[in-house]
Amino acid sequence: MTMISIISVNYKSTPLINDLEARLADLDVEFVVVDNSGDFRPTAKSTKVVDAGGNIGFGQGCNLGVCESVGGVVMFLNPDVEIDRESLARLLEVSSRQEAPAIWGPYIRDRAHQVVVLQRPGRAGLSFRRRPLSAEELSQETVDVTYVSGACMVANRAIFEAIGGFSDKIFLYGEDLDLCIRAKTAGARIFLIGAVEIGHKGGGSSTKIDRIKRLFRSTRGHYTFLRHHHYRPLGAAINAAHLASGYRI
């Protein structure tokens, strides 16, 4: 079976990553933590800590983690992902058997307990639209999708490195969609596996100011991604606002 390297980027998330270390105990994986805030302290001796030298963003942090890892399959796992040990072990087992060029991930349920995906084209002149997977799709072993969330994303190292990893132009937000589109263009399959479901808090801030800040950052990240894919400024701005909003249009 293919060895798997799990990469997590720390930004003031030590308690969450320490919990993840406990869930990884006795699992045959390499765990790499890229420390973007300089305050991470591991609880497991096997955890490899890479000092990023400052907050270099999510994508760049993941790229650095890949450079410092050895697994033939790389898994990117956000500290705030809600996944139990059994689900994690199942995801690792499925991932170890994936050999064709691909990027994949588990189902992530939203607050309405639906698995929502992006689809092309969108409505009202937009490039993308969101829709929940149907009951029939949810019953399938795998479902091909436009992108896999960077909150829990798995990829063959070969395809990840072949397309240059995450874009160094995007600091945060939109880098997962950008990566998947480039990977698909290069011939990779992008899909979700039905054997594992996880939760993701998704930065569920409690204050209005935090939500506004997150919306602004997400819009900016998606705008950078769209401009990189040759959208004109106005089209990039409109589509970035839509993608950042989360609206199902």
Per-residue model confidence as pLDDT tens digits over 72-115: 999 999 999 989 889 999 999 999 999 899 999 999 988 888 99
Number of domains in the chain: 1
Structural domain boundaries, residue 27 = 4-245
CATH code of the domain containing 104: 3.90.550.10
Lowest mean pLDDT of 12-21, 44-53, 104-113, name the range: 104-113
What's the rounded Cα separation, in Å, for the pair 158 and 139? 30
- Reported in sequence order, the residue ranges of the chain that DSSP labels E, i.e. its strands, are 4-10, 30-35, 48-51, 73-77, 81-82, 102-108, 116-119, 129-132, 142-144, 152-156, 189-200
The pLDDT value recorded for residue 204 is 47
The pLDDT value recorded for residue 206 is 58
Q: Which residues contact residue 68 at a Cβ distance below 8 angstroms, ignoring those fewer than 6 apart? A: 32, 34, 48, 50
Q: Give the tens place of pLDDT for each residue, 183-235.
A: 999 999 999 999 899 987 665 445 888 889 999 999 999 999 999 999 999 99
Strand-pair category, 152-156 with 102-108: antiparallel
The pLDDT value recorded for residue 111 is 82
